[in-house]
Structure 1
Amino acid sequence: MTDVEVVVAHGDRATLRVGEIFLKIDSDQSNTDIEVEAMLRAPVPTPQVLWRKPPVLALAALPGRALARLGRPSTTSSAAWAAAGASVRTLHDAPLPPWPGRSLDDIASELDRECAWLTESGIVETGVIAANRTIAEVALRSWTPVFTHGDLQASHVFVSGDDVCGVIDWSEAAQGDPLYDLATMTLGHPEHLVDVVEGYGDDVDLDVVRAWWSLRSLRGVRWLVEHGFDPAAPGCEVDVLNRQAMRNR
């Protein structure tokens, strides 16, 4: 009998693996609508949609393994990271999806709320919050929108050897800032930023990428805590904030 593996589960959604099939269960079907449409439009390898019976989406497992995982040292080659950067460039050069992404005002307002919550919670030192808030401001500028994945964590990019064989979890795909995707993929793995940029090509402002590291981490801590995850684990969001603050001294 095939075992059922719980990949992730919280109040909003759950993902189960049964053999070579992933079953994604989402309480908000608009997320699944976007995921399916984005995978159809994306010019990079994505999982095959096997069937959909709301609230369940069944996807075929991808070959290979995750590029890396947050909180764990990367064992993937520099060439694989560069290949991931090249795949992101292919996505960003594709025609825009018809739905918009989040506005700059919405992102700035969320940053205000999350910094206030962090200060009140005491999870992160006040000085670290202030330092990262200053860094994050660099990302709050106008950009030319591209087709972004929107949640391009290294664990969502699958590689075999030095080649990218697929990208998963497209529910946050939208028009957006290209440097946000690069920052998300290299969050917690700053040593591979140069490899990703080598594959991606020119026009990468590294200060903006680092600013998105701070912004994503600041706004992610509360969600992680409320959904049963530990943002203070070594190499994760709080660690990123501490390192960013130290680097900016």
Structure 2
Amino acid sequence: MTGVDEVKVVVAHSERATLRVGDVFLKIDADQTRTDVEVEAMALAPVPTPRVLWREPPALALAAVPGTPLGRIGEPSTASPAAWAAAGAAVRALHDAPLPPWPGRSVEDVAARLDAECAWLVANDVLPTDLVTRNREIARAALRPCTPVFTHGDLHVSHVFVAGDEVTGVIDWSEASRGDAMFDLAVLTLGHQQHLGDVLAGYGTDVDVEVIRAWWSLRSLVAIRWLVEHGFDPAKPGCEIDVLRART
């Protein structure tokens, strides 16, 4: 690697760090199981993913994907409706693919985490009790049996790259597993609810919008403690706490 002017820290916390060195992303993870999942999921996924350059635990080197993120939570997206629809079509291709060989979380596990995180939010006065209670009620609609699909598991809008109206890459696959299709759609549109219709135009049928809305609440409730403890701010405009307020 030559001609590199700087090393950019993309994200860094106690669990993992990602550095950008020229056109290479270097991911360092304390849990190699997550890296195992990421590498295998990218090999199985029927959508564009980063190319693995090399792996030397605890580091994984990936080539940068072309394009720019579809958007970022807390910021308006400048992507076209067609680009959002293309993202929906890519998610549908993933969900229609054969299941990965490893399981995902059970409904019981998700329910237990929701209960624990809501209790923490109230006990530590992070959010008003009525706001937590109302969103917890909404979230329960996501806790239902469903046919599992191949899910990305962390499909933040910033993890989908586009060029024009075409998806050029989907990154960060360490949470991929068998799971609820509505969860991926909810995470993709979290904080960008106005683009749900565009995403569904590309995704197609077999969608329960009420369950997607339930996942907006559930995902936000269970994410806040992790975000706070790892140096992120869920209270920024348009982020998780605003998502919860909008649900009421």
Kindly state the Cα deviation for residue 120 of structure 1 after the two structures are TM-superposed: 1.1
Distance (Å, rounded) in 1 between the aligned partners of 2:156 and 2:199: 13
Distance (Å, rounded) in 2 between the aligned partners of 1:200 and 1:228: 34
Q: Which residue of 1 aligns with 2:104?
A: 101
Length-normalised TM-score, structure 2: 0.98
- Among 214, 219, 226, the alignment partner of 2:217 is 214
Aligned amino acid, residue 177 of structure 1: D
Aligned amino acid, residue 135 of structure 1: I
1:55 aligned onto 2:46: no
Q: Which residue of 1 aligns with 2:227?
A: 224
- Among 151, 161, 166, the alignment partner of 2:164 is 161
Distance (Å, rounded) in 1 between the aligned partners of 2:232 and 2:246: 20
Distance (Å, rounded) in 1 between the aligned partners of 2:232 and 2:36: 26
Aligned amino acid, residue 224 of structure 1: L
What stretches of structure 1 move > 4 A for 4+ residues in a row? none
Length-normalised TM-score, structure 1: 0.98
Task: String of CA shifts for 1:184-212, please: whole Å, max 9, x gaps.
Answer: 00000000000001100001110000000
Q: Structure 1: which 5+ runs fail to align?
A: none
Q: Which residue of 1 aligns with 2:194?
A: 191
Task: String of CA shifts for 1:170-194, please: whole Å, max 9, x gaps.
Answer: 0000000000000000000000000
Q: Which residue of 1 aligns with 2:74?
A: 71
Distance (Å, rounded) in 2 between the aligned partners of 1:25 and 1:127: 40
Distance (Å, rounded) in 2 between the aligned partners of 1:239 and 1:122: 16
Aligned amino acid, residue 120 of structure 2: W
- Among 99, 106, 123, the alignment partner of 1:120 is 123
Distance (Å, rounded) in 2 between the aligned partners of 1:102 and 1:34: 14
- Among 17, 22, 25, the alignment partner of 2:20 is 17
1:179 aligned onto 2:162: no
Task: String of CA shifts for 1:61-96, please: whole Å, max 9, x gaps.
Answer: 010000010010111101000000000000000000
Distance (Å, rounded) in 1 between the aligned partners of 2:187 and 2:103: 19
Aligned amino acid, residue 87 of structure 1: A
Distance (Å, rounded) in 2 between the aligned partners of 1:120 and 1:81: 38
Kindly state the Cα deviation for residue 126 of structure 1 after the two structures are TM-superposed: 1.1
Distance (Å, rounded) in 2 between the aligned partners of 1:113 and 1:179: 22
Aligned amino acid, residue 39 of structure 2: V
Kindly state the Cα deviation for residue 122 of structure 1 after the two structures are TM-superposed: 1.3
Q: Structure 2: which 5+ runs fail to align?
A: none
Kindly state the Cα deviation for residue 2 of structure 1 after the two structures are TM-superposed: 2.2
Distance (Å, rounded) in 2 between the aligned partners of 1:120 and 1:224: 17
Matches within 5 A, 1:16-55: 16-55=19-58
Kindly state the Cα deviation for residue 121 of structure 1 after the two structures are TM-superposed: 1.6
Distance (Å, rounded) in 2 between the aligned partners of 1:215 and 1:94: 26
Distance (Å, rounded) in 2 between the aligned partners of 1:165 and 1:74: 17
Length, aligned pairs only: 245
1:91 aligned onto 2:94: yes
- What is the root-mean-square deviation of aligned Cα atoms in Å? 0.5
Distance (Å, rounded) in 1 between the aligned partners of 2:6 and 2:187: 32
Does the residue aligned with 2:169 lie in a helix, a strand or coil?
strand
Aligned amino acid, residue 141 of structure 2: V
